[in-house]
A and B are shown apart, each in its own frame.
Chain A
């Protein structure tokens, strides 16, 4: 046996999950896809005493559209989101990012909400949530809470979620302008490894091809994903030629606070940040051009 002993509860409703979290105390953990939690458990880096399985909670699964945008249940498989028509049509940035999340075998188990709650600073789904100003919904015995993505991710694998809360839903606003484009670029050792650095961009242009709206963020450049406010400000209202995009993207180098690890130095990350932002923006512009 590799993992330490634990009690197992296969929950069937969100209220059952919340009650188990309230009763189980801080050593209880939710398991969704388990693609990060199980390795941590078998290496005994974490030893929950109670494992609450949410894979059979039907209300946590599914993708739907309403007036506010696209709602994705927290326990929706990454593979199901990847092939969802709604995601491909309304959230093309998320569709692009999902192809880079792990491998087919891990996307078949891994969940969209699990990646958000796990909050790896280089993970693609949290980066898209931040870029698109997603709203994150959580439930506990004290009731429902709503978080903006901008205030949700606090540090490496740390979020605003308390130990008694279960992430239930992700709500993505949809940009429904006529000329919207998206770009997602990352550098990793191999396809589907965690990104050394990743950049996401979504822009909307007016009929003349000027930038009307712009969202840019970087993952892997700090202990949490970061919006590139200065880059966005430099883009909005501008004519979108390559020269201007390169100038706006250059501001990303100073906006991140990267660390060094076995894969890349902080200097390297700082150096590639403007290039990745520029590539993501150019991809977005080419799609958005009227």
Chain B
């Protein structure tokens, strides 16, 4: 089958690739670009571990073909921390609230919550649970994850004055 040329922007950097149409976006990010922070969990749209931000909106990268991302901008977990390694306020809050155990779901949680805080800087617990409802975590029982998002919202709000 014919290879397709695509141009995508990932974490602000432009990439051009030749790919097969049947390559999913999550496999493209991991196997072609080497960005293995995005995790492939269930690979059929149930667990949310592969969540990335496409043109500002969180989506499941296992439910898109990479060819469909042609011309679009994607943010992955690798783009959250600054170049010097300083964690984003949300990542810092995850660390402080111990919002992970095995860490497998964490990239998806971080991307879903990053998108939430961008559109809703002061979310209620219901808002947080709704935003993370599509992300499974088998370790934490979710409590510390919700606390971490709340903490990040609080600190960002204080920092913004």
A: residues with CB less than 8 A from B are: 1-8, 10, 31, 34-35, 38-39, 41-43, 51, 53, 55, 79, 102-106, 108-109, 190-192
Contacts and interface: CB of A to CB of B under 8 A. Distances in A.
Interface in B57-73: 57-60, 62-65, 67-68, 70
Interface of B: 1-2, 4, 20-24, 27, 43-45, 48, 51, 54, 57-60, 62-65, 67-68, 70, 112, 115-116, 130-131, 133-134
A42 B64 contact: no
Contacts, number: 94
Given A105-B48, A105-B58, A34 B63 contact: yes
Contacts of A103: 48, 133-134
B69 to A, nearest CB: 11
A192 B57 contact: no
A42 B23 CA distance: 10
A79 to B, nearest CB: 7
B41 to A, nearest CB: 13
A38 B64 contact: yes
Contacts of A34: 63-65, 68
Contacts of B65: 3, 8, 34, 38, 51
A3 B70 CA distance: 19
B24 A2 contact: yes
Q: Closest 9 interchain pairs by CB? A: A103-B134, A8-B21, A39-B44, A108-B57, A3-B22, A5-B1, A38-B63, A105-B134, A105-B58
A43 B58 CA distance: 23
Contact of B2 (A2, A7, A53): A7
A38 B45 contact: yes
A34 B45 CA distance: 10
A109 B20 contact: no
Contacts of B57: 79, 108
26 contacts: A1-B27, A2-B22, A2-B24, A4-B22, A6-B22, A7-B2, A7-B21, A8-B4, A8-B21, A34-B68, A35-B60, A39-B45, A42-B43, A42-B44, A51-B21, A102-B134, A103-B48, A104-B112, A104-B115, A105-B51, A105-B59, A106-B134, A108-B57, A108-B59, A191-B130, A192-B133
